Chain A
Amino acid sequence: MNIEELKSSISAILPSAVYDETGEFLNVNIASEELYPLINELRSNSEFDFDYLFCLTCIDWKDHLMMVYHLLSKTHNHTIVLKAKISNRENSEIATVCNIWRTAELLEREVFDLFGIKFINHPDLRRLFLSDDWNGYPLRKDYVDENMISL
């Protein structure tokens, strides 16, 4: 599918999706509650067939958090970037995708560890790198560590 076809097909599933084509890939902006039905369809529908999640991460935009999913289809060779906005910083949560792509299990644990996002239905949500009693989430922009030395 080319970009126009992707846009119209995604809009048929989720009319509220907002597109951004300024970057290298097609960006699809959605709200965090809308993530799972859409992303499940993107994987299971053979017209999309996004079988390869090659990057999963989070960005802290200070007033909200944003989950970023880079998806690629090995069969159709098309790529999209799905961005889910999480407005609630204090109690941030989003559906897990690790039953769709197994690689997400460790990647989501990393995001939980460093950004503090809770993944609903994740089978084993524990801190990945830091110790269990660590305070705060280091990759958040408001994280303060008194021992941190600025270069």
Chain B
Amino acid sequence: MRGLIEDDYVTEEGEFVINMGPQHPSTHGVLHLKVWLDGETVKKVQPHLGYIHRSIEKMSESLSYRNFIFATSRMDYLAAHINNEACALTVEKGLQLEVPDRAKYIRTILAELTRLQSHLLWWGCTGLDLGAVTPFFYAFREREFIMEIMEETCGARLTQNFMVPGGVMYDIHPNFQKRTKEVLSQIKGKFQEYDNIMTGNVIFENRTKGVGFLSKEDAISYGVTGPTARASGVSCDIRKLIPYSAYNQVQFDEILDNGGDCYARYMIRMQEMKQSVSIIEQLIDNIPEGEFQAKTKNVIKLPKGEFYQRVETPRGELGVFIVSDGAASPYRIKYRSPGFSNLSALPLMAKGGKIGDLVAIMSTIDLVIPDIDR
């Protein structure tokens, strides 16, 4: 990195310039932060991106409307279903295609299972980042059951590619409902266990309470979304604001908190997991009979125009903006990824804190680097 060699390692004010990452365990990938330190106090943080930039937007310009969706599984790999769903919804919006109810229900259930497993992984990793090893094993124990359901129905564990324009790729596996209900009842019994080991722990509370504060105004100005923004009191749950798929059929709460610190962000996600369980429970026995995919032409061509779809991923608002010139592949695609905007507020949150707090902040923003780099 040229920028690094040119800079002095000690500034004129006596601040040390160190590099955190790209190979740092707490960045959950290849995020590179350049940190200016006065002793242990963080004076300035600068993210350096692009280590895994694959230019999905450019690639999509030469892919068909069926194929470009598969690339998005590799953006936020913990929410591949929801990325695929966002793209499928945008294409359907362009085609003015009505999706069968069965597909809507299956989509919503799978999206909430995705949210559950993503939050579980986040919970385990947060423990790991803050020095608690056990939560990681607890979280992965339950997450594994969800991944098995995914594998059985979609044929893949992470990059499912199950949502296609018009509905879902296949019908659900005969075991799907039974196994999902088993997993839900199992997870519901574990939430108390999670709280016992992490939430009330003195070390954990000291590391997160009052750390990494983000005000409501800053959250909106920085375009922060998802649990990170809701912890600062911003109402931004797209599932509530602009319901898509089957979210208008279910009752659930948008969890809000005014704490604005790492602990508030932690609590939001813990409660969201319970909401996800409740959403799946409302839908799982009521999946309507019928088609799982609407009929579409072999070669999809969107009419000339611009189409925008917003969905709620575990990390926040994902926007898919397709510009079509009437051809069989998109003229321009823009992904407004949640991680990118959430990361932009990291320097503000970390400023003035200790270097150890930076790890807690990164962890509670729940960054997924391929989502930022795209």
Cβ–Cβ < 8 Å partners of A59 in chain B: 323, 331-332
A106 at interface by CB-CB < 8 Å? yes
CB atoms of A132 and B2 under 8 A apart? yes
Cβ–Cβ < 8 Å partners of B223 in chain A: 52-54, 101, 103
Instruction: Count residues of chain A with CB under 8 A from any CB of chain B.
Output: 35
Q: Mark B339-356, 1 if CB is under 8 A from A, else 0.
A: 011011100100000000
A51 at interface by CB-CB < 8 Å? yes
Task: Select which of A51, A55, A128 is within 8 A of B321 by beta carbon.
Answer: A55
B55 at interface by CB-CB < 8 Å? yes
Cβ–Cβ < 8 Å partners of B343 in chain A: 106
Q: Report if A131-B2 is in contact (Cβ < 8 Å); known contacts: A25-B308, A54-B223, A102-B218.
A: yes
Chain B interface, DSSP helix/strand/loop, else mixed: mixed
Closest residue of A by beta carbon distance from B332: A59
Instruction: Report the bound CA distance from A131 to B220 in whole Å.
Output: 30
Task: Select which of B2, B53, B341 is within 8 A of A129 by beta carbon.
Answer: B53
| Interface size range on B against A | 35 or more
CB atoms of A150 and B62 under 8 A apart? yes
Q: Report if A52-B220 is in contact (Cβ < 8 Å); known contacts: A59-B323, A103-B344.
A: yes
Closest residue of A by beta carbon distance from B51: A129
Task: Select which of B49, B57, B93, B222 is within 8 A of A139 by beta carbon.
Answer: B57
Instruction: Give how many A-B residue pairs fall within 8 Å (CB-CB).
Output: 87
A60 at interface by CB-CB < 8 Å? yes
Task: Select which of B57, B307, B348 is within 8 A of A24 by beta carbon.
Answer: B307
Instruction: Report the bound CA distance from A54 to B338 in whole Å.
Output: 10
Cβ–Cβ < 8 Å partners of A76 in chain B: none
Cβ–Cβ < 8 Å partners of B59 in chain A: 151
Distance from B197 Cβ to chain A, minimum over Cβ atoms (Å): 36
For window 298-318 of B, CB contacts with A under 8 Å fall at 305-308, 310, 317
Q: Report if A151-B321 is in contact (Cβ < 8 Å); known contacts: A102-B221, A132-B2, A138-B58.
A: no
B14 at interface by CB-CB < 8 Å? no
CB atoms of A102 and B222 under 8 A apart? yes
Q: Report if A55-B308 is in contact (Cβ < 8 Å); known contacts: A128-B50, A151-B62, A151-B63.
A: yes
Q: Mark B221-236, 1 if CB is under 8 A from A, else 0.
A: 1111000000000110
B157 at interface by CB-CB < 8 Å? no
6 smallest CB-CB distances across A and B, nearest first, come from A103-B223, A129-B50, A57-B334, A129-B53, A55-B336, A106-B344
